[in-house]
Amino acid sequence: MKTTILISALLATLSLGACDRPAVVTVPATPVAVPVPVPGPAGATGATGGTGATGSQGTEGDTGATGKSGTGTTVIVTPPASAPAN
């Protein structure tokens, strides 16, 4: 019984040790220095354009008809309260 446990522990240790793979180490590439372009001097200011003509005022629309006044009672029905969530 003792030898069976010892042999199974030894086999378990060896089989688990065989699964261990070393991590792959990737070395980052050395960065290449890229020269930053330097902006040149500012150019001349462009010519300003003329302002366009102002449009004419539109005509005013007709006034709508007045609705008839209501008669009777207004009834507002509210929906039932929802059950609380558990």
Q: Is 16 helix (H, G, I), strand (E, B) or coil?
A: helix
User: How do the pLDDT tens digits run along the chain, 86 residues long?
Assistant: 678 888 888 888 877 776 666 777 788 778 777 788 888 898 888 888 788 888 899 899 899 888 888 778 888 888 888 877 76
Distance CA 3, CA 10 (A): 10
CA distance 50 to 47: 10
